[in-house]
A and B are shown apart, each in its own frame.
Chain A
Amino acid sequence: QVQLVESGGGVVQPGGSLRLSCAASAVTYGMHWVRQVPGKGLEWVAFIGYDGTDNHYADSVKGRFTVSRDNSKNMLFLQMDSLRPEDTAVYYCAEDSTGGPLHWGQGTLVIVSS
């Protein structure tokens, strides 16, 4: 079972940028980013296929967030630009399997606040 570890979270001002990373213990295939406002439900954010060409985004982040990966290092990234207070959440990376996230990381907290 692949292990996933997110990093890069922190406090950023509105309008700022942050880059999240997700380190995988083994080769992964399709990968998701999912976020969760503390105490609230899960929100799907983005997906990237194995070769990086099949990308999809939630409407709420389209044009501001970019998902990418480096398969040579088993790494996944989420570049977050033009951040808004409503982007404050725990961000999880997760590996896809048969149409949904199977293996999840522990999450990294992003706080957008002045």
Chain B
Amino acid sequence: DVVMTQSPLSLPVTLGQPASISCRSSLSLVHSDGNTYLNWFHQRPGQSPRRLIYMVSNRDSGVPDRFSGSGSGTDFTLKISRVEAEDVGIYYCMQGTHWPRTFGPGTKVDIK
């Protein structure tokens, strides 16, 4: 199985400042169709996860443009340009290229 790792696992942030989360996969996530299926999710306490980013860098509908995704192969990053209070919670990356699908362990973001 593809192992997904994230760093840091805990990220205290200052409101209005940028934040960045790294996600690495144990195997290249480039699919045989040429696409790279790397997703990012955000989960607030007591809520279901919400997908923010699909295929590395595409924002889902309604996702603020302060969120951006980048990367290739095995190395990916989620960036928040200016953290807002509603951004606290846990962020997960998930690969959608190989079976079985696998999630990263999560990065907990809270306000300093």
Query: 1/0 contact trace for A93-114 toward B, CB 8 Å?
Result: 0000111111011110000000
Asked if A58 is an interface residue, CB under 8 A from chain B, the answer is yes
Task: Decide yes or no: A97 and B100 within 8 Å by CB, A59-B1, A104-B48, A107-B48 being known contacts.
Answer: no
A interface size (C-beta, 8 A)? 22
| Cα of A102 to Cα of B103 in the assembled complex, Å | 14
Residue of B nearest to A62 (CB): B100
| Nearest CB of chain B from residue A112's CB, rounded to whole Å | 21
Q: Could you list 5 examples of A-B contacts with CB < 8 Å?
A: A41-B106, A58-B100, A92-B49, A100-B101, A102-B54
Query: 1/0 contact trace for B76-92 toward A, CB 8 Å?
Result: 00000000000000101
Residue of A nearest to B45 (CB): A39
Give the B-binding residues of A (Cβ under 8 A). Answer: 32, 34, 41-44, 47, 56-59, 92, 97-102, 104-107
Residues in B neighbouring A43, C-beta threshold 8 A: 103
Contact A99 B97 (CB under 8 A): yes
B interface size (C-beta, 8 A)? 28
| Cα of A100 to Cα of B101 in the assembled complex, Å | 9
Residues in B neighbouring A34, C-beta threshold 8 A: 49
| Nearest CB of chain A from residue B101's CB, rounded to whole Å | 4
Contact A99 B105 (CB under 8 A): no
Contact A106 B37 (CB under 8 A): no
| Nearest CB of chain A from residue B73's CB, rounded to whole Å | 16
Contact B54 A99 (CB under 8 A): yes
Asked if B19 is an interface residue, CB under 8 A from chain A, the answer is no
Residues in B neighbouring A59, C-beta threshold 8 A: 1, 100
